[in-house]
A and B are shown apart, each in its own frame.
Chain A
Amino acid sequence: MLIFRGTPLYLAKITITLRKSILDPQGKAIHHALESLQMNSVQEVRIGKHIEMKIDAPNKEEAVLVTETACKKLLANPVMEDYTFSVEKISEGFGI
């Protein structure tokens, strides 16, 4: 399907994890399960969330700003979570 857009489309990939200082009981339970599979080289497991967003933006800086704002306002809770993200262009814009 051909999509005509005025601005490029960016893909933001966001990873949200519990802050390092917080015990992650889910990660711990999975770590135990891996140990029971004899995967003893695994030292630590931490669980997080992966969120992808497609963003219309004139440039990458703008797309990064939108992602940052979304993380701060809604996607992550700074009291208990850290977030990291990457932003890449997935399609060029076509002039309207």
Chain B
Amino acid sequence: MRFEICAETLDPQPFDFAQDKSEIRNQKSTMSHTKQKFGVVVFPGSNCDHDAFYVLKNIFNQDTKFLWHKDSSLEGVDVVILPGGFSYGDYLRCGAIARFSPIMKEVISFARDGGIVIGICNGFQILCESGLLPGALLMNEGLTFVCRYVNLRVENSNTRFTSECNRGDVLQIPIAHGEGNYFADKVTIETLERNNQILFRYCSSDGTVTPDSNPNGSINNIAGIMNEYGNVMGVMPHPERAADPVLGRTDGQKIFRSVINSLMVNENLKNNILVERS
């Protein structure tokens, strides 16, 4: 396979590091008292596991741990992240073998019980293979591995993954995949559209969804979806690669912040209920 590295950046703008860092400091101070537990699953061949870990631990100051693929316990985490990479060398099909690793049995029952699961890139492929999300990810229509920033239009901001965004917002987040061409049968696509399960679409910089802005040929420019219960999300773009201000762009933070905030809301609700009962 030919690897195409595209260094172009979309709409280059001077980046205000100082402003963004102070924003993160504020974020840290408001969150320090309510750390959430994140678990990043490590498969043989995962290569974005440390990026996800770093962002959650160092940027968002959350209690984060790695979960080894051979383990059969999620160690009480609140959120499971299936990171990007090439689990099991992408042998057979992307995600097909990872789906049968011991930890996935736990992840599947965790998700079925309403636990929050986020699959990024290869993680999205694993979620589709395991049946936690509908559809499949085919080889990119252009047959090349595409690694560059893309524009994503937020399609539904009324979810725990996107509550920090507004519907129609355009996020700039990088993709890096050879098999990201989302496919599902017509009925499934209609259901996803009807239920507002499509969270992100590839779009132009002004937010218009066009065939030209689709990097892989996915149906309806789909870049990310969630399940019908709203607790499992799969995205091809890498929000963890656009979360540290040092790297230039921080749009990916909005996704992690949405999840952390939704957990804090849940915790507050739980505490209120406990207070009312006592």
Interface residues of A (CB under 8 A from B): 18, 22-23, 25-26, 29, 74-75, 77, 79-80
Contacts and interface: CB of A to CB of B under 8 A. Distances in A.
Contacts of A75: 92
| Most chain A CB within a 10 A radius of its CB, from B92, B100, B140 | B92
B59 interface: no
Chain A binding surface SS class: mixed
Interface residues of B, number: 20
A80 B138 contact: yes
B92 A79 contact: no
6 contacts: A22-B138, A23-B141, A25-B143, A29-B143, A79-B185, A80-B136
A79 to B, nearest CB: 4
A26 B139 contact: yes
Contacts, number: 33
Given A25-B141, A26-B139, A79 B183 contact: yes
Q: Which of B100, B183, B217 has the most CB of A within 10 A?
A: B183
Given A22-B138, A75-B92, A79-B183, 4 more contacts: A22-B183, A25-B139, A25-B141, A79-B128
Contacts of A29: 143
B69 interface: no
A77 B183 contact: no
Nearest to B188: A79
B57 interface: no
A77 B131 CA distance: 11
